[in-house]
Each structure stands twice: as C-alpha cells, then as structure tokens.
Amino acid sequence: MDLRGKAFPHVRRFRVLLVLFNTMAQIMAEQEVENLSGLSTNPEKDIFVVRENGTTCLMAEFAAKFIVPYDVWASNYVDLITEQAEIALTRGAEVKGHCGHNESELQVFWVDRAYALKMLFVKESHNISKGPEATWRLSKVQFVYDSSEKTHFKDAVSAGKHTANSHRLSALVTPAGKSYECQAQQTISLASSDPQKTVTMILSAVHIQPFDIISDFVFSEEHKCPVDEREQLEETLPLILGLILGLIIVVTLVIYHIHHKMTANQVQIPRDRSQYKHMG
C-alpha cells in the first residue's frame, strides 16, 4: 500500500508534465512565424509568414494604414472637435498566427504594442449548380489602438485603449487553393469602442493565402480582384484597338493597290467614235 501511495503522486506529476508539454508544443507551433518585410522592395509593404510543423501554412503581403478619428478640445476648452490620426503598419512589427483546416489567423503588433491588428480567415464550401465549391475569405478584422500614444495622437480627450471591429465582413473572397492578389486600394470600415467613431482600414498591394499552400514560401495561382482585372483591361484595350485599326488600314491599302494595278492593265476603250481611227 505504501508503494502504491508513493507511486500515484509520480504518475500524477508525469501526467501534469505531459499536459504542460503538449500545451507548450501548441504554443510554440502558433508562434512559428517570420517577418520578412525586409525582402520587400516596397517600403510600405509588409511580408508575414506563418509556419507549422516546418511547413508554410499562411503567407501575407500587404500595405495597411488606419484612419482613426478622435476628439480633442477646441481652443475655448468647451467644444470638442474631431481630428484624424493616420496610422501605418510599420516594418519590424511583431507577428503571431496559427493555421487550421477551416480557420486561420494572423496577428500583428507594432509601436510597443500600442497598435494590434487581427485578421481572421475562414474556408467554406457552397453548393452551386455545378456542384460543391470551396472558397476562403477574410471574415473578421480587429484593430486595437491606444490614443494616448503621442506619435499619432495629439491630446486626445478619451485617451486610452480602444477596439475597432468589422461587422459581418466578407472580403477577399477567393477560390480554395488559390492566393488573392490586388494592387488597388480597398477599404474596410471598423466600428470603434470610442463612441460614434468609425475607423477606416486601407489595404493595398495585397497578396494573401491563408490555406492550401503547396510549396514553402511560394504563393499558389493568383485570383485577381475585379478592380485589377478592369484596370488591366483598360490598359490593354487601347493597344488591342490600335492593332485592329492598323490591320484595317493595311488591308485597305493592299486592296486599293491590287485594284489600282488591275485597272491600270485594262485596255481603255474610247467613248468618242472619232478616236477609233487612231487605234490599231
């Protein structure tokens, strides 16, 4: 009995250690991230990579800035006026993230954690006429900001931490197995905990893939946003029209040349009968 009594505590300790080990392993997996922004030729664009089990599972390249309204006292110290802070996501930001089969998350912190961005992605399956179709999308954005931070905010009245959240967001919708690419600016509105304030998130130069990455550090085939496709069409359309117009002119000149040559070789019959005596 004494031996059993002594053995049980060791078993319990072992189980506790095993649970702690598994927990630490999961935490380490979540924190296996890299900030590769230094590789970008665009100084405003950041590059983040999340890896689990030694494999890239989420890649994100984008430039982001936030337009944040806040109140300050007017010169009479009675009225309030609204100012705007423009907060850009800077290089060297701290990054966290995790990947799942149907949900992935990216978290970014900068300026000593005065600012934090959380982006949640989901993968879904829909039934359409052709059969089931899987897509992924950006389903939630959360931006936490500290209006007591002096670099961007000047004497904010309600200085302190505020949280701005998206509402029923469905953005960057992309077929499963593809990456999303969009060079054009996109805006997302976020409702702030600061009363009656709406934060605007502006994304640009976006290239993101939160699921189904086949090769390490390599995006899958791009799914371009409609704005980029329209701009590309607008750029190529004048060239296409110019080529068509040039082809029409060439064909017209060739036909004219052939017709002129054929008519020049034909014998001209004089209409005046008095000219017949000069023929032959």
Q: What is the 3-state secondary structure (H, E, C) of the chain?
A: CHHHHHHHHHHHHHHHHHHHHHHHHHHHHHCCEEECHHHCCCCCCEEEEEEECCEEEEEEEEEEEEEEEEEEECCCCCCEEEEEEEEECCCCCEEEEEECCCEEEEEEEECCCCEEEEEEEEEEEEEECCEEEEEEEEEEEEEEEECCCCCCCCCCCCCCEEEEECCCCCEEEEECCCEEEECCCEEEEEEECCCCCEEEEEEEEEEEECCCCCCCCCCCCEEECHHHHHHHHHHHHHHHHHHHHHHHHHHHHHHHHHHHHHHHHCCCCCCCHHHHHHCC
For residues 225 and 180, the answer to whether their CB atoms sit within 8 Å is: yes
* pLDDT attached to residue 269: 54
Predicted confidence band of residue 189 (pLDDT cuts 50, 70, 90): very high
For the chain, the average pLDDT equals 83
**Vertex 86: Cα angle to 83 and 89 (nearest 5):** 155
Judged against a pLDDT cut of 60, whether residue 24 lies above it is answered with no
Q: What is the band of 53 on the pLDDT scale with cuts at 50, 70, 90?
A: confident
Please report the pLDDT score of residue 48 as a whole number.
96
Reply yes or no on whether the pLDDT at 248 is more than 80: no
Q: Does residue 61 register a pLDDT over 90?
A: yes
pLDDT (average), residues 92-116: 95
Task: In whole angstroms, give the CA distance from residue 187 to residue 168.
Answer: 15
Give the pLDDT band of residue 265 (cuts 50, 70, 90): low
This model's pTM is above 0.85: no
Predicted confidence (pLDDT) at residue 173 exceeds the cutoff of 80 = yes
Q: How confident is the model at residue 234 (pLDDT cuts 50, 70, 90)?
A: very low
pLDDT, mean of residues 110-124: 97
The yes-or-no verdict on residue 157 having pLDDT over 90 is yes
Q: pLDDT exceeding 70 applies to what percent of the chain?
A: 75
pLDDT class for 233, splitting at 50, 70, 90? very low
Closest to 173 measured CA to CA, from 216, 212, 127, 208: 208
Q: Give me the pLDDT at residue 272, please.
A: 56
Minimal CA–CA distance to 100: which of 57, 64, 163, 131? 57
- For the chain, the farthest-separated pair of C-alpha atoms sits apart, in whole angstroms, at 148
Q: Is the pLDDT of residue 159 over 50?
A: yes
Tokens at 177, concatenated: 């197995």
Extract the tokens encoding 160. 């302190």
pLDDT value of residue 57: 95
Lowest-pLDDT range, 89-103, 112-126, 243-257? Answer: 243-257
Q: Is the pLDDT of residue 27 over 50?
A: no
